[in-house]
Structure 1
């Protein structure tokens, strides 16, 4: 079967290195770019030799377009049936953030998704979360349950002692409010942990 010019061009892109692809996007020689991992480039482009303010702005725009494309399947998801569903819904919004973002997926009686408000934005290693702020957001909706989600900018989704402590606090608060916390999903780069699956939530 003969490929069209468009198909040939797309196939050619699959074989290109990261340096070559960035060179094409930015209109520069790949030799002028000191390229490291793609995630580092997209998070901190001006730290790369050969990328100035205008080229960095173009990369930020590409990152945002890519993020929105990744969100589209998640936006079509209407209910949460498993930890993996929660991860798939939240990952496009959170996994590439360079600071910790703590959010909750608010669910109705059939575990349909009502909203996913961001509660707190913290540092590279931690976010500060107060139960009153969490429930202030949850109570804006006819919520029956919620799932905690947050990202680890390091890419490692292993729970910290602070993650475990805030999970206990919010699980107990949920019991008092009769709006149970079903899980706490920690999002890394391409992987996640479910504190329920780890036995930390009943």
Structure 2
């Protein structure tokens, strides 16, 4: 009996990984479907989902794949340098997110520090934005949130919106900024 292979286009629209990702979020996909999205395409003889499945089987899942080298990946049929680099880049992003520490948080020691933190992104906004910086006990920014986007020259904010997030984040202090034209 011949081994059947199904291309992504053979699946109903609602069962395709990219569409399910859009509709239901990344948590709705299996590991091999997420890996297939990173790979992008399969080969002439092997669809991307099958290639992703084979790759995970070869590395016994994500645990060993995270430690794979460029040489190990490119030694697998169907994985060239470009696909291997995509995989390694995705793994590195995941590693950096997992290793993100509190030490990398921006510290606000003065009004100038707060302004510097906000101004690069907000300098040229066409309308008023009311933004809050939520700080921990070491004055490190733990969260930044735009509470309200106003009109050309005004923004109306209710205190409950500001303090709801402060309580949720267990913020020790809050900096308020109204930025815009």
| Shorter-chain TM-score range | 0.3 to 0.5
TM-score of the pair, normalised by structure 2:
0.41
Q: Quick check: which one's helix share is greater?
A: 2
